[in-house]
Amino acid sequence: MPFLATTPVEKMSGPYARRWWALLVLCLSLLIVVMANTSLIVAAPDMTWDLDLSSSDLQWVIDGYTVPYAALMLVLGAIGDKYSRRGALVVGLLLFAGGAVTGSLVDRTELVIAARAIMGVGAAVVMPATLSLLVAIFPRGERAKAITAWTATTGLAVAVGPLLAGWLLEDHAWGSTFLINVPIAVVAVVGALTLVPPSKAAGAGRIDYVGGLLSIVSIGSLVYATIEGPHFGWGAGPVAAAVVAGVGLAAFVAWELRHPNPMLDVRKFAQRPFTGSMLAVLFFFFGAFGALYYSTQYLQFVLGHGPLETGVRLLPLAGAVVVGAAVTGRLTPRLGMKPMVVTGMVSGTIGVLLLTPVDTGSTYTDFLPALTMLGLAIGLSVSPATDTIMGTFPESELGVGGGANDTSVELGGSLGIALLGSLLGTAYRDELTDLVGGHLPAAALETAQDSVGAGLAVAEEVAKSPGGGAQQAQALVDAVHEAFAHSVAQTSLAGGVIMAAGTLIVMAVLPGRHASGKHRTGTPAATQADRDKEHAESV
């Protein structure tokens, strides 16, 4: 057996013999892409204190990764299709690891954001490559099972990232959390060269770079406006970005409809299974990432759990994803995609709404059911939705298909953190003002209103000040906790309403099993034998 996997998938006469080992490599690659955000969640307090981050700085430390990640996936997926999917995976992993090493060494806010942006570009190469290689390698009959494992890896990363970061933060500075990804990336690169076969689209035409540029402008501007507008005010910048996003999207659609070889065939949105699945994925990660964003803050700032303790308390979410993935793997072939997706969306909606009773007396046990329901939502639904999305793309566009699916994932997560985070901040500021507005100097109140971490830092200063004291400081701590608990409850109600509306929309858009089945006969397969079988069935 040669050390390097050299036979291209396109030249194999049957399914690739080491495809399940290749899947492990793809899942490892996916793991670090998702962990790059989830591990940062528990490191955020240490980074805030060490770098003196404002809420705007912290948001951009998080979303410096998100903007290039979301904006570049379509075009980078197309480039991987044309030239080399495995090559794209390796290059993306190396770029990602380089950004991670840089992030661990720098000590200035703007450099941390730049390092995160480099990691985001690497992730935008890796994420669609993992999905396109999976679909190319696995025959149709095994693909749903492979995508289920891919989906379960996402849930695993949600919990493993904070757990590993928390363990490192017990004895090391926040920079160590960037290094979590480096050894895994190195292993994945070696595994990609030895276990993942080369693959590229057969007969791919010229890449639609104009469409790619328009997609980058549209998605990048939309994500920027989503982050800046709700959090930091709808000034000239966010409004201009929103206008650019709208104009860019209209231009993208017009261009793609006329182009003979479009970057993304926008006519696919006329197919209800595709559009319903894209919306479902977006809403799943809207609720999951948004709720996780403020739940981890509550566990750390209000309940006083350390980073490692917080990571351990997120493990049930990962376990629920695995359980949900196992259930959907058995039930989807029997019941169809729509019942599983809708059941998952209902589960996610309930999970977010379970946080509406949160108050200062709430403990971890009050968060456990919500985390479990969110994990089940991802496990039950993302796999069949992703399988449906990828099934609408021909073999020559698998990277674009992966990019489309992953853009929904990242856009949903960005919207969840930005919109729900904005509601969280507004509710916290208003409630804190009502509780202590007349008892703090204006400058101290303005600082305390910035975030729950800032409020607790002001309380520490009050305790140390000559005119302050332990009693006054404790009163401020109690007010900060009460204001944040109130904001979690209010934000969860709003998030639950949005999730419920999304569930109704997806229910209306997704067709029943019989109606959606007609879209599956033309689904591309990984081997010529699959294509021949599908042709025979259609005849």
Q: Give the residue from 262, 279, 306 where a domain finishes.
A: 262
How many domains does the chain contain in total? Answer: 2
Shared-domain flag, residues 133 and 243: no
Cα–Cα distance between 20 and 51 in angstroms, integer?
43
On whether the CB atoms of residues 80 and 132 are closer than 8 A, the answer is yes
Provide mean pLDDT across the span 480-507. Answer: 95
Shared-domain flag, residues 228 and 150: no
pLDDT tens digit string along 69-115? 888 888 898 888 888 999 999 999 999 999 999 999 998 999 999 99
pLDDT tens digit string along 413-461? 878 887 888 888 889 989 999 998 777 888 888 888 888 888 888 888 8
Cα–Cα distance between 401 and 393 in angstroms, integer?
6
Name the 3-class secondary structure at 433.
helix
What is the model's pTM? Answer: 0.83
Q: Where are the beta strands (DSSP E) in 351-479?
A: none
46 within a domain of the structure (yes/no): yes
Shared-domain flag, residues 170 and 247: no
448 within a domain of the structure (yes/no): no
Give me the pLDDT at residue 202, please. 74
Q: Which of 208-212, 350-354, 470-474 has the highest mean pLDDT?
A: 350-354
385 within a domain of the structure (yes/no): yes
81 within a domain of the structure (yes/no): yes
On whether the CB atoms of residues 375 and 317 are closer than 8 A, the answer is yes
**pLDDT more than 90, % of the chain:** 38
pLDDT category of residue 14 using cuts at 50, 70 and 90 = confident
Shared-domain flag, residues 507 and 402: yes
381 within a domain of the structure (yes/no): yes
Shared-domain flag, residues 287 and 397: yes
Angle between helices 19-51 and 140-169 (to 10 degrees): 30
**pLDDT more than 70, % of the chain:** 92
Shared-domain flag, residues 42 and 161: yes
Shared-domain flag, residues 168 and 310: yes
Cα–Cα distance between 237 and 228 in angstroms, integer?
8
- Tell whether the model's pLDDT for residue 172 goes beyond 80: yes
Question: Residue 344: which CATH number?
Answer: 1.20.1250.20
Which domain does 235 fall in, by range?
A: 208-262
Shared-domain flag, residues 258 and 268: no
DSSP class per residue in 192-220? HHHHSPP---TT-----HHHHHHHHHHHH
Nearest 10 degrees: Cα torsion 265, 267, 269, 271 = -120
Task: Give the sign of the dihedral formed by CA 388, CA 85, CA 115, CA 185.
Answer: positive
441 within a domain of the structure (yes/no): no
Shortest CA distance to 370 belongs to which of 276, 281, 287?
287
449 within a domain of the structure (yes/no): no
463 within a domain of the structure (yes/no): no
The structure tokens listed for 501 are: 């509306």
